[in-house]
Each structure stands twice: as C-alpha cells, then as structure tokens.
Structure 1
Amino acid sequence: MNKIEQLLHTLAPKGVEFKTLEEVFEIRNGYTPSKNNPEFWKNGTIPWFRMEDLRENGRILKDSIQHITPKALKGKKLFPRNSIIISTTATIGEHALLIVESLANQQFTFLSKKANCDIALDMKFFFYQCFLLGEWCKNNTNVSGFASVDMTAFKKYKFPIPPLEIQQEIVKILDAFTELNTELNTELNARKKQYEYYREKLLTFKPLTPQRS
C-alpha cells in the first residue's frame, strides 16, 4: 500500500467528496480593454494574461507580457492571487495558475475560491485537476459558429476534494515529476542543439582547390 492509499484508508475510508465548480468557485469571464484608448495601456502595471503568456512562460504565471493601467479596469475586480484561468474558447482546455493579482483576456474563464466556501482546497491540487478539466472542456463544446465550451455544463462539472493532507501529498508527487520532466526537456534540447552543431560540422566540407597546371 503506497502513501496515498494509506492516507485514503485513514482519512477517507468511505471515499472522497465531489463538488461542482459553481459550488466552490467564483466563475468570471476575462476582459480585453479597448486597444483604441492609450490610457488603458501606456505605462500599465497590472498583469493582463493571454495565451501567449502560457506559451512563453508556462502554466505558473507571476507576470505577463502585456500590462494594463488601473483606468482599464472600469470598475472590474482583479482576479486574486491563486486563481485559475482556463481557456473556454479558441484553444480550448489550456490553463494556468495565477500567483499575482491580474486580469486575462476573454478567451479565458477565471476560477477563484469563493470567500464563503469553507472547503479545504489546495489550489495547486486543483491546478493539477485542471488537466482533466481541460480534457473535459475539449469534449464538451458548442460548435455553432465559434467553438466554445458549454458553460452551463462547465459550472456543473464535478471534481474530487480529498482531505487536505492527501491533496498536499499528491501535489508533492506531481511537482517532483514536473521538475523531472522539465530537466529532461532541457537536457533533450541541449543535446538536440549539440547534435545539430556537430551534424553541420561533420557534413560540411571545403571543395577541392583546383591545381594549377
């Protein structure tokens, strides 16, 4: 019996609780300030996330490529720290954990634990759960016109919430695998560049110099 099984046997012998997204989270849409108003963008300090940020900087985000000004908020609340954004249109299913107060564009739906929700939830655990949620999103889209996730069903999506100690142990294990995967990819990229360098060197020759008669 591994450690997770032992913890489940001890802390959740009858099974774990499942909750819907709308029971646990405040669910909001992203927002794009008008590009025609420079006051919304010039010298901005508030992170504003797009899909490019995930592609450039991964899935744990503490700053963005583009920033907006307080004037761009127009009464809208910032996403609090430890929120999740998940793409529910266009490139569906991609997600990230935001560790800074911020906004994101309308491609994303934002999930933040409700202030009045007393369920113990490690947001890093839910971040890993979102890999499964992302796959669900890809299979539950409205395809009339522009592809988008069925948001009524999205809010009813159920996910497991084991005891906090189990959540933290799962996060510890998955963090270790993530770090190992990153190291392997870095090593693979370095070896690829090395291979390309030596391939170029080994397959490049000077032509014969014609002998003078």
Structure 2
Amino acid sequence: MSNNLNMHNSIAKLLDGVAVEWKPLGEVIKSLKTGLNPRNNFKLNTSDAMNFYITVREIQNGKIVFLDKTDKINNQALELINNRSNLEAGDILFSGTGTVGKTAVIDEKPKNWNIKEGVYVIKPVQEIVVSKYLSHLFNSKYIVNEYSKKIVGSPVISLPMSELKKIQIPIPPLHIQTEITRILDIFTELTAELTAELTARKKQYDYYRDKLLTFKEDEVEWKTLGEIAENLDYMRKPVTSGLRKSGSIPYYGASGIVDYVEDYLFEEDLLLVSEDGANLLARNTPIAFSITGKTWVNNHAHVLRFKTYGERKFIEYFLNNIDLTPYISGAAQPKLNQKNLNSIKIPILSLTKLTQIVEILDKFDALTNSITEGLPREIELRQKQYEYYRNLLLNFPKLEDK
C-alpha cells in the first residue's frame, strides 16, 4: 500500500504545474512512412530468404519479437523496402491496418529485417518529443479514442496516415517526457520479460506433451474411444439464441462457451469434443475441453463421460495433440461425427503412468494457459498496472479544457 501511495505522490509532484503544449502529430515528426507489400515487388519465404518481414503480429509489448512463423525475405527485397521505409534507431513503428495502434520503438538500426505496408514508421523530432514517450502516448486512453474516430474500411480496417498526422499530441517539457518514460518502461519491461518467459515455457510444454503423448503401435495396448468413454450426445439440446433464457449457466458449443442460460442439462465433470466447424482443421483453439458443474451443451459438441479425472484429462490432452484429419469428413463444413469419434484409437496405460503424464501436463497447462494462476495471470496483472499508471501519467488537461 505504501509503495502505491509513494508512486501516487511522486506522480502528483512530477506533474504539478507542468506546462503542456498541444500540437498535431505532423508538426512534431520529420516524416510518416510505411513498408512494402510483396504483390509484384518480391516473394516471401524463397530459398534465399534470410531476413525477417515484420507485420503487426511481431509488434508485442513495445518491441519487435521474431516468431517461428515470421515470414522471411531475401536481400533484394530487404533493400527494396529499405529504400522506402528507411528505418533508423529512435523510429516508432505503428500498426496502421488490421489491429490498429500497436507500437514499438526501434532501439538500433535494423540489419536483417524490415516492415510490410500498413506498418507505419514515425520519425519524431527528438528535440521536441521523446520516442518512447510518444509510443506510450499512442496507447493512452485519450489518444486511442481520438484516432479510433478516424479508422476506415471493412472488413480490414486502417487508419489513414493523413488522419494520424492530425491527432493532437500533448507535449510537456523534455525532462518530464523522459521521467514519464522511465516510470512506464519499468512496467513494460516486466511485462516483456514475463511474455518471453511464457513463450519459452510454451515451447517446453509442446516438447514434453509431444514426447509424453507419442506411442509406438506395439508399445502399448490400444482401444477405441467408444470402448473407453460413455457418449452422452443424446442428452444435448440446442436452443436458438432468441429462445434462450438469460442466466448464469454456461451454454457450450463447438469451441467453448457461447452464451449463459437459466437452466442446465448436466451437473458433472465431462469432456466436450468439437463436432463441426472450421476449427477442426485449423486447430486455433482446443477441440477437446473439460467442463464442470452445471452446464448446457448444444449439438455442436460431443459429450463424453469418464470414470476418473485422470482418464478424462489424458484423453483431452491426447485428442488435442494428434492429427484428427483421417476422422473428419467434409471440406467446406468439416465434421467429426459420432461414429468416427468413437473409432479414434487411444493408448491404454497403467494407472501409475497415466497419472504421471496428467500431473506433468496439468502443471504446464496451468503455468502457460491458466487465467487464474501462472504466467498469463501475472502478465494480465502487470498489464493492468501499466495501463493504470500510463493513464494517470498521461492525463494532461485537454485542449477543450483550457
């Protein structure tokens, strides 16, 4: 409590009587540019592609994060984009299309990467505005609200450069900008460290999950899922949205909760498995997931009952880890029907081995996915802390308030 109070007092003292000048962004920057899209200019991921091609997904927590799925470009394409974007240390990257408003500050001149069209390069006049201060400002509640009014397009949205230049920016003295940046960087650095830790733990989780859930044909006994689980599909009941009575009971579909209703069909621990939908092939979210307590399930998810927790969780992990393509019918509308679901081969393990695998994977799952514990929860708390102090520090008197 005392630390929060000291922080509040320090901020109040820092901002007391500070003179703030408001200027359009276009007046405090040297230029506003963007990168280049492939189209007829170059190709991605060619055999000689050694450089990174940065899109909005690589802009994370104020930094550029190179991912396993980051696209690559060759040297000729890199030079072509360089001639247009001219990235330098101190530049701010701003996502102007798709997920508008994500920012990152370039620490040093890039050597092996550049950006796509739609990622904007903002080059601040350093004698007027500090790069990191401006980056934090772009994420503040007031500025986000201002540029959100200027967003155009559908389904892919964008913020025109001409409109971004018109956004009014609060410019306090440079030493105030620097101190605000120092305070806020404490929170963003911690979030970035936690995010990097989460990425490492997810890779570790993937490794052990694959290792623990891969079995040779003659290594274990195999049974079909229909021999192991009790199928409760006959108890499902779909209800159209217009006829559902609103309540507190989760109403489940193929990929999770789709609504909350007044009544329930089940009151126990069960495993749901997606019956249809594009996610059966895309696997963007788990196709098998456990539910507990009072629930309602529609006819887009199979309902399976198991004798023990360990058995249910093992099957959940196993189904989410294997290739289900051979069991899925339909291309336009992928479907995993009950007959094919029941025919999936499952390895039969001793109780000791099964329990050991589930305990290990449960720990990794809680660490990497839980919203109530583990790293995701910690990241969420630090992000909320950052947002609170960012809005407190950047809450300057508005133009209309003067």
TM-score band w.r.t. shorter chain? 0.5 to 0.7
SS at match of 1:129: helix
Unaligned runs of 5+ in 2: 1-7, 210-289, 291-307, 312-349, 352-402
Contact residue 63 and residue 100 of structure 1 kept, 8 A: no
Q: Does 1:69 align with 2:75?
A: yes
Residue in structure 1 matching 2:16, options 9, 19, 31: 9
**Higher relative contact order (CA closer than 8 Å, sequence separation 6+):** 1
- The 2-side partners of 1:77 and 1:182 are apart by 26
Task: State the 1:134 CA deviation.
Answer: 4.4
- Which residue number corresponds to residue 59 of structure 1? 62
One of 143, 148, 151 as aligned partner of 2:153: 143
Q: 1:89·1:107 contact (CA, 8 Å) conserved in 2?
A: yes
Say if 2:101 is the partner of 1:93.
Answer: yes
Please tell me whether residue 204 in structure 1 is matched to residue 212 in structure 2.
no
Alignment of 1:24 with 2:37, yes or no, is: no
Contact 1:141 1:150 in 2 (8 A): yes
Identity %: 23
Q: TM-score, normalised by structure 2?
A: 0.39
The answer to whether the 8 A contact 2:35-2:84 is kept is no
TM-score (norm 1): 0.68
Once residues 148 and 163 of structure 2 are traced to their aligned partners in structure 1, the CA distance between those partners, rounded to angstroms, is 12
1:83 to 71, 76, 91: 91
How big is each residue's C-alpha offset from its partner over 1:118-176, in whole Å with a ceiling of 9 and x where there is no partner? 32x22111111111344533332123675221433211111112112212221222122
Counterpart Cα distance in 2 of 1:37 and 1:92: 23
For structure 1, which runs of at least 5 residues remain unmatched after alignment? 208-213
Residue 150 to residue 166, structure 1, CA distance change in 2 (3 Å):
same
Q: CA deviation at 1:77?
A: 5.0
Equivalent in 94, 98, 115 of residue 104 of structure 1:
115
Kindly report the root-mean-square deviation, in angstroms, between the aligned alpha carbons of the 2 structures.
3.7
Q: Is the 8 A contact 1:92 1:137 kept in 2?
A: no
The aligned amino acid for 2:163 is A
Does 1:48 pair with 2:59?
A: no
Q: Is the 8 A contact 1:78 1:101 kept in 2?
A: no
Tell me the amino acid that sits aligned with residue 119 of structure 2.
F
How far has the Cα of 1:112 moved from its partner?
A: 0.8
Tell me, yes or no, if the aligned pair for 2:53 and 2:73 is still in contact at 8 Å: yes
